[in-house]
């Protein structure tokens, strides 16, 4: 089922206030987390061999989610600062494009897309829709949306684009890792909104999610506007970003989530990640995110661990520079 | 991930005691309910167009689960008393058969498969495996396993067949409807047991379940051998079965779950179900379970509701007999 009505009403109320778009409980499906939400959405949307665009670097499991349901993933590179590259996007759009997935703040880069950038994205997709007659759905997968720094704005995509689907989970913003709770919200003016909603509810059932866990649904109902203290993550970011740039790493300063995505000082980032591992610093190679030559650091760790890692980052860097 | 280690150990211990087969935490994956467990199992097992056998009447969503992952469902009818029909099963087995799903106590009939019947089933599948060289996996989907009456035995399939996968949820036996918690257990001597386990964990992640809800995992750890009081359901069954047979309905007396599956007094059971609805008695047409001419009653309702329904069953029957 779609979830408890009062919980969906609370979500709709919170989303309406945030986006300025009037949503009701009928536009919300409670799900077992954002990954489940993405799967039911792609299963509901995709016909065989239709295409889903993602921007690299991307959360690697996006590749599987489309493949699970007969779709194809088309990867679009971003600029050097990980901002959206609209020329590349235009080249990638085709009559088979069914959906575009964005993720802001982004995993693995921590980059946040600005209002101007999202507005331009909406324009490009609107143009393509009007050129081809096939609506392109914009899926915003944003579990990190409430973890942002420096007063940066994260506009809700519903405000900017009608064919939009907003998906999130509470595992990050309420620090509930391991609990499976999130939701999918469909813009009321989305193409085929009503049949899409029926499709989501049906797919939620037959893919085996059935419903979002009832107990945790009740728990999150009353905390829709609550979030973890992002300040804690900002301090960690500032410390680590400061240290890494001091050492000489090239890294885009992120404005959200809890990841940094530096350039590897040597081309083969897998070798560099191994070198870091020898120094007891654990990071993930960028090719897993579609971006070889980079690596991802998760700084959602205690300060002690973060401070202890600097020595390893420093040694590995100077060895690589030899 | 596969779930919390101590929870999987508790499940493995309970299953080992029940089946006499020594399982460890490495043979158990905690999942978001049995429907999720069936989906990841079929995704892990199936190659395109491979076949999954189910017995009619069956839980209708089995059809979707195979279809979700590129498989085909082959439906095998049962005998008049809903026991397994081995001649029909032998006709249905083919070199493309990858799995057989059983469900005992059965939804919608409430019928329990005896040890003799499951032993014969294992023999038929063993023979087919040795004839074709392709192992047939026996998937036992048994969320009702602890709701049985009259001291009837429900042998765990692991005791009888090596290529077996046992799937259950706690929504029924612990009366936790709406919570998403269950597990998949793989027989240690199952064909490709190790890669199957890896496949289950991988599919659990990429299908979007990610993990079973952590809080409820902890809750069920300590109640593996606890169950709802089946006696309550037995009394309801006895009452309803007694009344229906008195009225004249033809119905197989079930030994488990909380369903009855009577024959419709007229051939068109959808018309009869509508007649019952007019009398405020809600039941489900049998064709939804692959068995037209029957209908399913769920008697998991308060005694008052059950007692109040008899008048409707009686009137609808006598009108149909006119």
Low-confidence ranges of chain A (pLDDT < 50): none
Using CA coordinates, name the residue in chain B closest to A38: B208
Contact assignment for B39 to A178 by CB distance below 8 Å: no
Instruction: Enumerate the β-bridge partners of residue A28.
Output: A185
Contact B212 A180 (CB under 8 A): yes
Phi (first) and psi of residue A298, to 5 degrees:
-100, 120
Angle at B49 between CA B47 and CA B51, to 5 degrees: 90
Is residue A206 less than 8 Å (CB to CB) from chain B? yes
CA distances for A220 relative to A18, A187, A211, B294, angstroms: 17, 22, 15, 42
Cβ separation of B215 and A210 shorter than 8 Å?
Answer: no
- How many residue contacts between A and B have a Cβ separation below 8 Å? 97
SS3 B206: helix
For residue B45, CA distances in Å to B48, B71, B122 come to 10, 10, 19
Give the gap in angstroms from C-alpha A61 to the nearest C-alpha of chain B: 6
- Count the neighbouring beta carbons within 10 Å of the beta carbon of residue B198: 13
Q: How far is A90 from chain B (nearest CA, A)?
A: 29
CA-closest candidate to residue B35, choices B76, B66, B11, B2: B66
C-beta atoms of A32 and B64 within 8 A: no
pLDDT for residue B219: 84
How far is residue B117's CA from residue B129's CA, in Å, rounded to a whole number?
A: 18
Residues of chain B whose pLDDT is less than 50?
none
Whether residue A210 and residue B37 make contact (CB cut-off 8 A), yes or no, is: no
Residues in chain A closer than 8 A to B5 (CB atoms):
none
Put residue A150 in one of left, alpha, beta given phi > 0 → left and psi -120 to 50 → alpha.
left
| C-alpha–C-alpha distance, residues A302 and A62, integer Å | 29
The whole-number pLDDT of residue B218 equals 86
Q: Which residues contact B269 (CB under 8 A, 6 or more apart)?
A: B285, B286, B287, B292, B293, B294, B295
Judged by CB atoms closer than 8 Å, whether chains meet at B33 and A210 is answered as yes
Residue B157: what are its φ and ψ, rounded to 5°? -60, -25
Interchain proximity A214–B177, CB inside 8 Å:
yes
Contact between chains at A35 and B179 (C-beta distance less than 8 A): no
Contact between chains at B214 and A35 (C-beta distance less than 8 A): no
* Residue B91: exposure state from Cβ atoms within 10 A (0-12, 13-18, ≥19): exposed
Q: Which residue in chain A has the smallest CA separation from B36?
A: A208
Q: Which domains does chain B have, with CATH numbers?
A: 5-221 (3.40.640.10), 230-321 (3.90.1150.10)
Residue A205's nearest CA partner among B165, B200, B38, B259 is B38
Residue in A closest to B41 by C-alpha: A208
Cα nearest neighbour of A42 on chain B: B207
Residue B175 per-residue DSSP state: T
Is the CB of B213 less than 8 angstroms away from the CB of A61? no
Q: Is B80 exposed, middle or buried (0-12, 13-18, 19+ CB in 10 A)?
A: exposed
User: Which secondary structure element, helix H or strand E, spans residue B277, and what is its range?
Assistant: helix B269-278
User: pLDDT value at position A190?
Assistant: 96
Burial B252-269 (b: 16+ CB within 10 A, else e): bebbbbbbbbbbbbbeeb
Separation between Cα atoms, residue B30 and residue B41, nearest integer Å: 12
Predicted local distance difference test score (pLDDT) of residue B229: 81
Give B78 to chain A, closest Cα distance, Å: 25
B32 contacts A209? CB cut-off 8 A? yes
Q: Is B35 on the interface with A (CB under 8 A)?
A: yes
A35, A63, A184, B135 from A181: Cα distances, Å: 10, 22, 11, 37
Cβ of residue A28 closer than 8 Å to a chain B Cβ = no
From the CA of A209, how many Å to the nearest CA of chain B?
A: 6
- Per the CB < 8 Å rule, is B207 touching A32? no
Residues 6+ apart with CB under 8 A from B91: none
Q: Does A199 touch chain B (CB under 8 A)?
A: no
Interface test with A, best of B208, B212, B218 (most A CBs within 10 A): B208
Spatial CB neighbours of A271, under 8 Å, sequence gap ≥ 6:
none
To the nearest whole Å, the CA of B56 is away from the closest chain A CA by 19
CA distance B116 to chain A (A): 31
Instruction: Report the distance separating Cα A250 and Cα B238, nearest Å.
Output: 75
- The length of chain A is 322
The DSSP-derived string for B63-131 is HHHHHHTT-EEEEEE--TTS---HHHHHHH--TTEEEEEE-SS-TTT-----HHHHHHHHHHHHHHHHH
- Going from the C-alpha of A108 to that of each of A2, A269, A298, the distances in angstroms are 31, 15, 8
Do the chains contact at B215 and A32, CB–CB below 8 Å? no
Sort out which chain A residues have CB atoms less than 8 A from B178's CB and list them. 211, 213-215
């Amino acid at each position: 089922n779609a979830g408890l009505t009062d919980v969906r009403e609370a979500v709709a109320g919170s989303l309406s206030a945030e986006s300025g778009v009037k949503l009701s409980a009928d536009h919300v499906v409670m799900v077992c987390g954002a990954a489940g939400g993405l799967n039911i959405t792609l299963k509901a949307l995709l016909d065989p061999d239709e295409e889903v665009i993602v921007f690299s670097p991307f959360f690697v499991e996006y590749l599987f989610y489309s493949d699970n349901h007969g779709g194809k993933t088309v990867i679009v590179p971003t600029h050097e600062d990980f901002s959206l590259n609209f020329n590349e996007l235009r080249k990638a759009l085709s009559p088979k494009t069914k959906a575009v997935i964005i993720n802001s703040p982004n995993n693995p880069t921590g980059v946040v897309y600005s209002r101007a950038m999202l507005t331009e994205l909406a324009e490009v997709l609107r143009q393509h829709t009007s050129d081809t007659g096939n609506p392109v759905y914009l899926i915003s997968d944003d579990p990190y949306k409430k973890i942002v720094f420096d007063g940066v704005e994260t506009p809700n995509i519903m405000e900017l684009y009608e064919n939009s689907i907003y998906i999130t989970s509470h595992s990050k913003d309420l620090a509930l890792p391991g609990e499976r709770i999130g939701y999918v919200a469909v813009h009321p003016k989305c193409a085929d909104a009503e049949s899409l909603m029926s499709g989501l509810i049906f797919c939620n059932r037959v893919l085996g999610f059935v419903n979002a866990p009832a107990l945790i649904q009740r728990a999150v109902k009353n905390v829709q506007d609550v979030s973890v203290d992002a300040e804690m993550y900002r301090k960690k970011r500032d410390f680590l970003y400061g240290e890494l740039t001091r050492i000489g790493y090239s890294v885009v300063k992120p404005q959200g989530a809890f990841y940094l995505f530096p350039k590897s000082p040597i081309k083969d980032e897998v070798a560099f990640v191994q070198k870091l591992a020898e120094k007891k610093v654990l990071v993930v190679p960028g090719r897993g995110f579609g971006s070889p030559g980079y690596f991802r650091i998760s700084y959602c760790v205690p300060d002690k661990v973060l401070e202890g890692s600097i020595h390893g980052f420093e040694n590995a860097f100077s060895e690589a520079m030899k």
